[in-house]
Homo-oligomer: A and B are copies of this chain.
């Protein structure tokens, strides 16, 4: 497969982890989001939203949106499964994933950070305060749920890696990039560190991709 991504993108990170776990070979083209490469006409022809990741499986049209790509990979390459089979457990894994992918990550993507600074004259440091607030809300929701709900096991949902862990780890890595306090989230930390100690996650890590700071 062929993917368009970026070293820092939490969404591309999730997809890289799934590809690694499933043993699917891929090549990634890294766009420079700070330079606006995602808004060039040739990329907008691939994804009119101007966002990564975009994944090509053969000649088909591009696949976009990280959660949709994760589900596509489940459909075409079901082993190892990254969602539980039982409907309630499956729904819980998806819900935890969406706390990150729907309610947290979209609030700190480059287009939102830039909009706050450029259209609303919010200084950079205050913009970072906005970003850290939503990181905190997402992490606090995960921590409360993971430390109180019966479904939690070695991983976010039971004892097998699921989409919930891919999303959790993609958020956790961002805490370093954006300087977010993490002391209040020991369960999130435990799961993130367990995952990141594994090759499929480590190899997908943002700081190991081309373009990342040394």
Contacts and interface: CB of A to CB of B under 8 A. Distances in A.
Interface stretch (A30-38, A144-152, A184-192, A200-208): A144-152
Tallying the copies of this chain within the complex gives 2
A88 B69 CA distance: 10
A98 interface: yes
Contact of A72 (B88, B98, B103, B119): B88
Interface string A67-106: 1110110011000000000011011101101110111011
Nearest to A101: B102
A68 B87 CA distance: 10
A105 B101 CA distance: 12
B144 A68 contact: no
A38 to B, nearest CB: 13
A137 B106 CA distance: 13
A2 to B, nearest CB: 15
Contacts of A151: 61
A133 interface: yes
A48 interface: yes
A151 B63 CA distance: 12
Given A68-B97, A71-B90, 6 more contacts: A60-B88, A65-B102, A67-B98, A71-B94, A72-B87, A72-B91
18 contacts: A48-B148, A49-B141, A61-B149, A63-B92, A65-B95, A65-B99, A65-B102, A67-B94, A68-B91, A72-B88, A72-B90, A75-B90, A102-B102, A106-B107, A115-B130, A115-B133, A119-B130, A120-B122
Interface of A: 48-49, 51, 60-61, 63-65, 67-69, 71-72, 75-76, 87-88, 90-92, 94-95, 97-99, 101-103, 105-107, 111-112, 115, 119-120, 122, 126, 129-130, 133, 137, 140-141, 144-145, 148-151
